[in-house]
Amino acid sequence: MDVPKGFPYPNIPPDNLPTANRINLGKKLFFDPILSRDSSKSCNSCHHTDKKFTDGLALSIGIDGNLTLRNSMTILNTAYQPYFFWDGGAPTLEQQTLAPIENPLEMDFDVNLVVERLIQHSEYPELFQKAYDLPPSPYTLVRAISNYERSLFTKKSRYDEYLYDNNTSALTASEINGMTIFFGEQGECFHCHGEYNFTDYSFKNNGLYLSYADSGRARITTNSSDVGKFKVPSLRNVEHTAPYMHDGSRATLEDVIEHYNTGGQPHPNKSGLIQPLNLTPQEKIDLVNFLKSLSDKE
Amino acid sequence: MKKALLRSGLIILSTFGVLFTSCKDDDDTEPTPASTEQNLTFHIHTNVGATSVVYGTNYAHTDGRTFNLSDLRYYISNIVLIKQDNSELPISGKVLLVNPSENEYSLGKVPVGSYKGFRFYLGLDSATNHTDPTTYTSENLFPIQTPSIHWSWNSGYIFMKIEGLVDTSLAGNGNVNFPFFYHVGLDQNTKTIDFTNEAFTVASGSDKEIGLEFDLLSTLTNVDMRTENATHTMDNMPLATKIADNWTISFEIE
């Protein structure tokens, strides 16, 4: 696996170690609408390769034109995610894979019926046999897709060149200024969006609303102290993954910076790190420029 | 006193046994040794009131409101038998997925003897509840069922799934056409159904069947199906909790 520079080798379940046959099978399944009830939607429908595996929509559109509940997250660097979905409801990637298939707003299908289709298929049984030495089953189905998804990493950005290649000219003066705000006590962004993947994977209420239509993490834990908390997303390629937030309610990076600059709504669960930043117009531009330096170069 | 009576009963029984075997002395066959284990089965009736559930049939709730069912299944697990000396015999690894069209649920072989009672979970223990369902083989009831009785968005099992149609007209005199669903799960909703004072005996030579009756009307006690007609548990905890609390009054020995 082509792990980017500065990234650790990910933890991979021993029963689903990567092989070329597994990755290729998972890739074929990822792009195949056979997974959805009416064969209209594939994983790729909401995770486009040309949008860094997001879909550019505030809320994704599932089967029959249904509006789903949340914004599509990138699946790049998913090998590092300790749990899945905005609310962490799935503890493993393999278990996550079941949800879009079963969700009535997404693929609205039955995993057992997907497996029946795969068993009848002219190519899949042989591909499963090659990959797992087993026929298509819910077990091998979710493992193959997960195996492919774990092989998807972000690529080198100009920020990485600056950091790892000691290329001081990789970033502009504005981007460097934005970086200083980002990693300093002025912006405080790095507390949650830190380290190689620009996330600590914690659940945070960032003061988006006073009252949340989507309770977020509380939907899983039922704790009122988790209302409005969502998993901190990675910022790599953030330039290409608009719109932003769990509900896609912020259209541009400028809108996002403006939200954090105001300090957000005074929700009782709001993270103490979210406070008014008092950024100048130039500092806001610098921050946005820095975020854009996190994009894959190729 | 009870114990003493039991003991004398056993003596009488064994005396008859001796007499019986002595009759067979003529032929040379050895007496069949008394079995030490017998099969234990739960014979479960899943009812609405006194009526066995048939999907699509109209039933009346206790308030007279009409509804029918298209799905009613529930997990029973962690079955424990209580022996005379109060020690416990867990029926390890045995999980039942009960549906109305099936009555017989084998628990496997258990030692012959007198038991003080038994108990079980309606629901699953936390570890079982959150295991990846695709890792289970088809030899048990945990692989994903069709229709599903497992949540993938908050990985865990639905302990009891109740779906059907209900008449939601204000006066309860309209059509039975509004889809309702009660999907109740989540670790904290697992309930112990306690029959630890329902003594039974597993006698040598004959398999034992314990009759149980589940009454959906008890599970829907104080549930107003007109207004309370949907819960995936997390999105309507008060209703899910009410239903789960009612599980403890929904079972009777037949």
What secondary structure does DSSP assign to A245-298, as a single string? STT--B-SHHHHHHHHHHT----TTB-TT-------HHHHHHHHHHHHTTSB--
Which of A95, A106, A108, A215 to probe by mutation at the B interface, max B CB count within 10 Å? A95
H/E element, A139: helix A138-150
DSSP states along A213-236: SS-BTHHHH--GGGTTBEEPPP-T
Confidence bin at B93 (pLDDT 50/70/90): confident
Does the pLDDT at position B25 exceed 50? Answer: no
Q: Which of A94, A102, A106, A175 is catalytic?
A: A106
Which residue among B135, B143, B153 places its CB closest to the CB of A85?
Answer: B153
Interface contact flag, B132 A92, Cβ < 8 Å: yes
| CA angle, B36 then B38 then B41, to 5° | 155
Q: How many helices (H) and strands (E) does chain A have?
A: 10, 2
Average pLDDT (B144-164) is: 95
What residues in B contact A139, CB-CB < 8 Å? 134-135
B33 confidence band (pLDDT: 50, 70, 90): confident
Greatest alpha-carbon pair distance for chain A in Å reads: 62
Q: Quote the CA–CA distance of B223 and B182 in Å, as a whole number.
A: 11
| Cβ-based neighbours of A43, under 8 Å, separated by 6 or more | A29, A30, A31, A35, A100, A145
- Model pLDDT for residues A227-252, shown as the tens digit of each residue: 999 999 999 999 999 999 999 999 99
Rounded to two decimals, the pTM is: 0.89
In this predicted structure, what is the pLDDT of residue B151? 95
pLDDT digits (tens, 9 = 90+) for B119-136: 999 999 999 999 999 998
Q: How many CB atoms lie within 10 A of CB A181?
A: 21
* Best CA proximity match to B220, nearest among B209, B228, B211, B212: B228
In this model, does residue B27 exceed pLDDT 60?
no
Q: What is the pLDDT of residue A75?
A: 96
Q: Which tens digits make up the pLDDT trace of A247-286?
A: 999 999 999 999 999 999 999 999 999 999 999 999 999 9
pLDDT, chain A, mean: 97
- Among the listed ranges A133-142, B27-36, B45-54, which one has the minimum average pLDDT value? B27-36
Mean pLDDT of A97-108: 97
Geometric angle at alpha carbon B106, from B100 and B108, rounded to 5°: 165
Walk me through the domains of chain A, giving residue ranges and CATH numbers: 14-150 (1.10.760.10), 158-292 (1.10.760.10)
Residue B239 has pLDDT above 80, yes or no: yes
Residue B137 predicted with pLDDT over 80: no
Q: Where is average pLDDT lowest: B8-17, B24-33, B190-199?
A: B8-17
Q: What pLDDT does B12 receive?
A: 40
Strands B113-122 and B66-83: antiparallel
Distance of CA A91 to CAs A134, A163, A220, B132, Å?
24, 32, 11, 9
In the structure, what pLDDT confidence band is assigned to residue B42 with cuts at 50, 70 and 90?
very high
Q: What angle do CA B210, B215, B217 make, to 5 degrees?
A: 170
Q: Distance between CA atoms of A155 and A4, rounded to whole angstroms?
A: 6
What would the pLDDT profile of A37-64 be if each residue is shown by its tens digit?
Answer: 999 999 999 999 999 999 999 999 999 9
Mutation target vs B (from A83, A222, A224, A227; most B CBs, 10 A cutoff): A222
